[in-house]
């Protein structure tokens, strides 16, 4: 990474310390290569690490890139909120009052500040429709369930590649294989 960079670790969705979903936020990500970003994201060992950059789009307060230990994401919810919080705490000033406009892989996203609360409307779905058979088979194997226990399924992908699966109520107490929890839900 070459030089020291400011970063924060933010505990998102927490009413008390160490009770939320952490994200690492590099507050000065300009000049880092994709390889640098990916390497640091793996090192943090968190679900996501973000990089605040200079935006290219007019009207954006800052650019934001999202990396998991497995690669770059176009968008992710809790890291966006943690990143906006860190940006504001480090002295960032939104150009539009209480609305912070950030530029990410899915375009411009508004984050509204109301007191101590940050909120956003998720971007439009990039992918919808039913999952394919091979993918459903992988999900069933990962969850250690029979494929016939999957009652419904659909892509709900607005950037991270999410797939939604509804299965029989009797399976709610099942625990997936550890390796399945790390499975990327994109094809």
- How many Å apart are CA 59 and CA 45, to the nearest integer? 33
Hey, which residues are catalytic here? 48
The total of other beta-carbon atoms located within 10 Å of residue 125's CB is 14
Assigned token pair, 30: 């300009």
Secondary structure (3-state) at 67: strand
- How many Å apart are CA 107 and CA 76, to the nearest integer? 12
Rg (CA), the chain: 18
Assigned token pair, 2: 């070459």
- How many Å apart are CA 53 and CA 105, to the nearest integer? 12
């Amino acid at each position: 990474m070459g030089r020291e960079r400011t970063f924060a670790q933010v505990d998102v969705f927490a009413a008390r310390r160490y009770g939320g979903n952490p994200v690492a936020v590099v507050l000065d990500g300009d000049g880092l290569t994709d390889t640098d970003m990916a390497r640091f994201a793996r090192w943090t060992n968190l679900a996501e690490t973000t990089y605040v950059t200079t935006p290219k789009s007019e009207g954006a307060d800052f650019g934001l890139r999202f990396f998991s230990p497995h690669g770059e994401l176009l968008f992710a919810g809790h890291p966006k909120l943690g990143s906006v919080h860190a940006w504001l705490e480090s002295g960032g000033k939104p150009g539009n009052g209480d609305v912070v406009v950030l530029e990410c892989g899915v375009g411009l996203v508004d984050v509204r500040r109301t007191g101590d609360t940050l909120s956003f409307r998720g971007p439009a779905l990039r992918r919808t429709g039913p999952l394919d058979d091979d993918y459903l088979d992988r999900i069933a194997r990962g969850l250690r369930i029979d494929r016939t226990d999957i009652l419904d399924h659909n892509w709900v992908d607005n950037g991270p590649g999410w797939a939604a699966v509804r299965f029989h109520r009797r399976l709610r107490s099942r625990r997936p294989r550890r390796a399945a929890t790390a499975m990327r839900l994109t094809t």
